[in-house]
Amino acid sequence: MNKNDLKPAVVFAEFAKINEIPRPSKREEKMIEYLKSWGESHNLDTKVDETGNVIIRKPATKGMENCKTVILQSHMDMVCDKLVDVEFDFDKDAIKTYVDGEWLTAEGTTLGADDGIGCAIELAILASDDIQHGPIECVFTRDEETGLSGAEGMKAGFMTGDYLINLDSEDEGEIFVSCAGGRNTTAKFTFQRQQAAEGSFFMKAQLKGLVGGHSGDDINKKRANAIKILARFLYQEMNRYEGIQLAQFHSGKLHNAIPRDGQFVIAVPHDVKENVKADWNVFAAEVEDEFHVTDTQMVWSMESTDAEPVIDPAVAKNFVWAVQAVDNGIYAICQDEELGGMVETSSNIASIHSTENAIEILSSQRSNVMSNLDNMCATIRAAFQLAGAEATSGDGYPAWKMKANSELQKIVRESYVKLFGKEPVVRGIHAGLECGLFSERYPQLDMVSFGPTLRYVHTPDERLLIPTVQMVWDHLLDVLKNIPQK
């Protein structure tokens, strides 16, 4: 298979154009202008709200004018991550894609299928003149990945439809009917640097090659977190030997990604440097064995490095102890039987970076139960506050609760069974979807979410399973054809 054979061709043609447009979160101006121009050039009612969300309306085909209005919704921004040795400017460069078997992926960067493929499906429907549908509103929100600020800023009345189909899911054959709410918690240790003890030997340790992934959808897959692993080694060594001092700690980039790599710089007494190197090798083997299924490409290194001022030893100890102690991963499983053992509450330590006088920590908490989200955030804050850090939690976004007796869910499920001869999986998702915010602003909306299969989103390994795009396309067109009258 090559790129010229991708089906449906109209969807992949739109996706290729989208991937030529820089669209990092919070910097989607070029994409907004593209969508606005696209809608106007097709003589469709096109509007941009004050937040930067775009809506393009398409009238019903003949005979379906009295059907309920369907909103198709996706987000225009993308997570921007790349391999460390790849030169790429996400503000200027086009994503370079290639076909790998049945998968479409990118050359050393995130693919942007989350949620560029949803945007492409919407544009393909707007461009098509051979499909049946009632009135359609195609909505493209901005800044979903770093805080859902596009959906947060959307005012009531911007959308006017009866049903909403979110195209930001990552498992074909699964229909999502609820999602987790989320908040970020930050912590900050401040200090004055000082000179390392006389005779210290400086060492830089690096870990890379972890799988990483989405901090919501992949939190239950027992993937390694680079921050927790590096802090674990530091905790072990600082308990084992006197006089180890921390100079730097860096790991992670994004609040919604499991960190894939990281490094620290330490000063150690000269007489234990060989012991530390030996411990590192033993530790690496033990951790690789722990994650022998999920993370098979770990790369470990430790080498000497230049001397530099170190972090106040008391602060460094408190920092390492706190990161060792803080909750990370699954905290609770949903009690509702219809949600099938889905993760209810979790936390991900997402990034830590040291500066001249501070260590800054970013973490992400998620839950389908808002009281337990508050509890999880308090648990994370308390761990860092006990260690002497300043810690705060943001406002976050709400959960989307499953709607009882959903008309749209019934239509979507029956369509799937008719087309593919099997039952879809109807469930909630632990990741955050903009449906949670829509449910607050538009409480009357009947919503579902589905999409083609994606893997390793939010990482440079992101890939799209090509045949599932055709399946989603066929499914969506059949749903649109069977929307009831008002």
Instruction: Report the catalytic residues.
Output: 77, 144
Contact 125, 476 (CB under 8 A): yes
User: Which residue bears the tokens 């949803």?
Assistant: 118
Contact 348, 328 (CB under 8 A): yes
Within its chain, how far is the Cα of 285 from the centroid?
29
Q: Burial letters for 161-200: b for 16+ Cβ neighbours within 10 Å, e otherwise?
A: bbbbbbbbbbbbbbbbbbbbbbbbbbbebebeeeebeeeb
Strands (E) across 149-191 are located at: 163-166, 174-179, 181-190
Contact 18, 111 (CB under 8 A): no
Helix (H, G, I), strand (E, B) or coil at 132: coil
- The DSSP call for residue 176 is E
Contact 58, 134 (CB under 8 A): no
Question: d(Cα 464, Cα 121) in Å, to the nearest integer?
Answer: 14
Question: d(Cα 367, Cα 182) in Å, to the nearest integer?
Answer: 6
Pinpoint the alpha helices (H) of 296-390.
313-325, 370-386
The amino acid present at 126, given as its one-letter code, is L
Contact 311, 246 (CB under 8 A): yes
Contact 403, 444 (CB under 8 A): no
404 φ, ψ (degrees, to nearest 5): -70, 140
Q: Would you say how long the chain is, in residues? A: 486
Q: At what angle do helices 29-41 and 113-127 cross, to 10 degrees?
A: 10
Structure tokens at 29: 């101006």
Alpha-carbon distances, residue 483 vs 100, 176, 439 (angstroms): 37, 19, 21
Contact 145, 256 (CB under 8 A): yes
Question: d(Cα 137, Cα 175) in Å, to the nearest integer?
Answer: 20
Give the CA-trace dihedral at 299, 303, 307, 312, to 10 degrees.
50
Question: d(Cα 326, Cα 343) in Å, to the nearest integer?
Answer: 19
User: Which residue bears the tokens 């499920």?
Assistant: 413
